[in-house]
Amino acid sequence: MGRSSLINTTRRTFKETVAQRLSKRLLIILALVLGLLASLTIYQAFDASDTAVEGVEPRPYGAIEDLLDPEVFRAAYLEANGGLEGLDALKSIQLNGTIQSGDYSFEFFMLKSRPDKMLLTYNMDGQELSYGVNSEGAWQRVTLPDGSEQVISLEQEQVAQFQKTAQFLGPLVDWSG
């Protein structure tokens, strides 16, 4: 009986690197932070405890609880951010700050520009993790403390996730109700 040439072969599967797992978690945290900041902006603009002041028109949205309706929330968001015309005039958006979770913190920088391009960078423990996204694909660059760099093209599943994040204004503005 003949011996198969495949007997002593090993199957290789793609294993996610620590940087890729961390980047997924950081992307989720960043999305939550951005959502929280948008909600905070709207909350401050439409505090339900305000009373009528002479010469000031009442808000068309009523109480904060009214913002649970998606259409009311979208209208309030647009009004707080200059309306569709104001948002359409934007060419780029830049965010930067520090994310802290327990005793661990790291800095981030995000630059989005039209049409749906994004650069996202995290600085953690002397290492820099960057993602670049455009309509053609996405890449990841890791810069280690010694200055060495590794640049890779992301897998299609990750590209789709990052391209969705790179949408300039996102579904809240594009949503037609």
Q: Which amino acid appears at position 30 of this protein?
A: L
Contacts of 42 (CB under 8 A, 6+ apart): 67, 73, 76, 77, 80
Per-residue pLDDT tens for 101-134? 888 888 999 998 888 888 999 998 888 999 999 8
pLDDT at 130: 92
The pTM assigned to this predicted structure is: 0.57
E strands, 26-103, in order: 92-101
Cβ neighbour number for residue 11 with a 10 Å cutoff:
5
**d(C-alpha 88, C-alpha 71), whole Å:** 19
pLDDT at 10: 52
Per-residue pLDDT tens for 32-76? 777 777 776 766 665 545 555 566 566 666 777 888 888 888 888
What is the domain partition of the chain in residue ranges? 18-47+59-172
